[in-house]
Structure 1
Amino acid sequence: MNNSHYDAIVLGSGPGGEGAAMKLAKSGRSVVMIERHHEVGGGCTHWGTIPSKALRHNIRRLMEYNSSALFREAGEPRHLSYQTMMAHARQVIAQQVSLRSRFYLRNDVPVLRGHARFVDAHTIELATPEDRTMRLTADHFVLATGSRPYRPADVDFSHDRILDSDQILEMDHTPRNMIIYGAGVIGSEYASIFRGLGVKVDLINTRERMLAFLDDEISDALSYHLREHGVLIRHREETAGIAADDDGVTLSLQSGKSIRGDVLLWANGRTGNTDHMGLEALDVPPNGRGQIEVNEDFQTAQPHIYAIGDVIGYPSLASAAYDQGRYAATHILEGQCDYRLAHDVPTGIYTIPEISSVGRTEEELTDAKVPYEVGHAFFKDLARAQISGQTTGMLKLLFHVDTLELLGIHCFGDQAAEIVHIGQAIMAQPAPNNTLRYFMNTTFNYPTMAEGYRVAALNGYNRVQ
Structure 2
Amino acid sequence: MRICIVGGGPAGYESALVAAQLGAQVTVIDRDGLGGACVLTDCVPSKTLIATSDRVSALRDAPRVGVGTGEVHVDLRAANARIKALAQQQSDDIRARLLTEGVTVLHGSGRFAAQQGGRGHRLEVVAADGAVTETVEADVVLLATGGTPRVLPDAVPDGQRILSWRDVYDLDQAPSHLIVIGSGVTGAEFASGYSEAGVPVTLVSSRDRVLPGEDPDAAAVIEQVFTTRGGTLVKQARASAVKVVGDGVVVELLDGRTVEGSHALMCVGSVPNVEGLGLEHAGVALDEHGYIAVDRVSRTNVPSIYAAGDCTGTLLLASVAGMQGRIAVWHAMGEAVAPLRLKTVAANIFTHPEIATVGIGYKAIASGEVPARTVTLPLATNARAKMRGLQDGFIKLYCRPATGAVIGGVIVAPDASELIFPVTLAVQKGLTVTDLAGTIGVYPSLMGSVAEAARRLMSHDDLD
Range class of TM-score, shorter chain: over 0.9
Residues 16-37 of structure 1: CA deviation (Å, up to 9, x unaligned): 1112111111111101111001
The answer as to whether partners of 2:11 and 2:325 remain within 8 angstroms in 1 is: yes
Quote the offset at 1:461 in angstroms.
3.8
Quote the offset at 1:289 in angstroms.
6.0
Residue 106, structure 1, aligned to residue 100, structure 2: yes
2:460 and 2:246 map into 1 onto residues whose CA distance is: 60
Residues 406-457 of structure 1: CA deviation (Å, up to 9, x unaligned): 1211000101111111111122224xxx211123222211111111112212
Quote the offset at 1:358 in angstroms.
0.2
Residues 130-173 of structure 1: CA deviation (Å, up to 9, x unaligned): 85622111111100011110112332323621011111222222
For 1:229, the equivalent position in structure 2 comes to: 229
Residue 209, structure 1, aligned to residue 203, structure 2: no
2:80 and 2:276 map into 1 onto residues whose CA distance is: 33
Q: Which moved more, 1:254-263 or 1:163-172?
A: 163-172
Residue 351, structure 1, aligned to residue 351, structure 2: yes
Residue 255, structure 1, aligned to residue 249, structure 2: no
For 2:27, the equivalent position in structure 1 comes to: 32
For 1:150, the equivalent position in structure 2 comes to: 150
Quote the offset at 1:72 in angstroms.
7.9
The answer as to whether partners of 1:309 and 1:321 remain within 8 angstroms in 2 is: yes
* 2:298 counterpart letter in structure 1: F
For 1:192, the equivalent position in structure 2 comes to: 192
For 2:40, the equivalent position in structure 1 comes to: 46
1:442 and 1:457 map into 2 onto residues whose CA distance is: 10
For 1:309, the equivalent position in structure 2 comes to: 309
Q: Which moved more, 1:264-273 or 1:287-296?
A: 287-296
TM-score if structure 1 supplies the norm length? 0.92
2:427 and 2:173 map into 1 onto residues whose CA distance is: 45
For 1:458, the equivalent position in structure 2 comes to: 455
Unmatched tracts of structure 1, length 5 or more: 1-5
* 2:127 counterpart letter in structure 1: T
* 1:262 counterpart letter in structure 2: S
- The DSSP-based 3-state class of the residue aligned with 2:255 is coil
- The DSSP-based 3-state class of the residue aligned with 1:428 is helix
- The DSSP-based 3-state class of the residue aligned with 1:380 is helix
Q: Which moved more, 1:265-274 or 1:199-208?
A: 199-208
1:101 and 1:222 map into 2 onto residues whose CA distance is: 37
- The DSSP-based 3-state class of the residue aligned with 2:124 is strand
* 1:420 counterpart letter in structure 2: I
Q: Which moved more, 1:69-78 or 1:323-332?
A: 69-78
Aligned residues: 455
TM alignment of 1:130-141, pairs within 5 A:
131=131, 133-141=133-141
Quote the offset at 1:102 in angstroms.
1.7
* 2:438 counterpart letter in structure 1: N
Residue 66, structure 1, aligned to residue 76, structure 2: no
Quote the offset at 1:68 in angstroms.
0.8
Quote the offset at 1:218 in angstroms.
1.5
- C-alpha change, 1:257 and 1:462, in structure 2 (3 Å) is farther
Residues 322-345 of structure 1: CA deviation (Å, up to 9, x unaligned): 1111100011101x6432333321
2:42 and 2:301 map into 1 onto residues whose CA distance is: 29
Indicate the RMSD between aligned Cα atoms, in angstroms: 2.2
Quote the offset at 1:70 in angstroms.
7.3
Residue 397, structure 1, aligned to residue 402, structure 2: no
The answer as to whether partners of 1:392 and 1:414 remain within 8 angstroms in 2 is: no
Q: Which moved more, 1:251-260 or 1:436-445?
A: 436-445
Quote the offset at 1:195 in angstroms.
0.5
Q: Which moved more, 1:127-136 or 1:16-25?
A: 127-136
2:291 and 2:176 map into 1 onto residues whose CA distance is: 37
Q: Which moved more, 1:194-203 or 1:142-151?
A: 194-203
The answer as to whether partners of 2:243 and 2:251 remain within 8 angstroms in 1 is: yes
1:21 and 1:221 map into 2 onto residues whose CA distance is: 40
Quote the offset at 1:317 in angstroms.
0.3
1:428 and 1:162 map into 2 onto residues whose CA distance is: 42
Of residues 60, 85, 91 in structure 2, which corresponds to 1:97?
Answer: 91
The answer as to whether partners of 1:273 and 1:290 remain within 8 angstroms in 2 is: no
Residues 246-272 of structure 1: CA deviation (Å, up to 9, x unaligned): 311101111121110100001001011
* 1:230 counterpart letter in structure 2: G
Q: Which moved more, 1:245-254 or 1:89-98?
A: 89-98
Quote the offset at 1:275 in angstroms.
1.7
* 1:428 counterpart letter in structure 2: Q
The answer as to whether partners of 1:65 and 1:71 remain within 8 angstroms in 2 is: no
2:84 and 2:390 map into 1 onto residues whose CA distance is: 27
For 1:442, the equivalent position in structure 2 comes to: 439
* 1:83 counterpart letter in structure 2: R
2:152 and 2:216 map into 1 onto residues whose CA distance is: 30
TM alignment of 1:282-297, pairs within 5 A:
282-286=282-286, 290-297=290-297
2:245 and 2:81 map into 1 onto residues whose CA distance is: 28
- C-alpha change, 1:379 and 1:159, in structure 2 (3 Å) is closer
- C-alpha change, 1:143 and 1:369, in structure 2 (3 Å) is closer
2:151 and 2:418 map into 1 onto residues whose CA distance is: 33
1:106 and 1:164 map into 2 onto residues whose CA distance is: 35
Aligned residues: percent identity? Answer: 27
For 1:3, the equivalent position in structure 2 comes to: none
Q: Which moved more, 1:253-262 or 1:164-173?
A: 164-173
Of residues 2, 5, 29 in structure 2, which corresponds to 1:7?
Answer: 2
* 1:147 counterpart letter in structure 2: G
TM-score if structure 2 supplies the norm length? 0.92
For 2:387, the equivalent position in structure 1 comes to: 387
Residue 339, structure 1, aligned to residue 333, structure 2: no
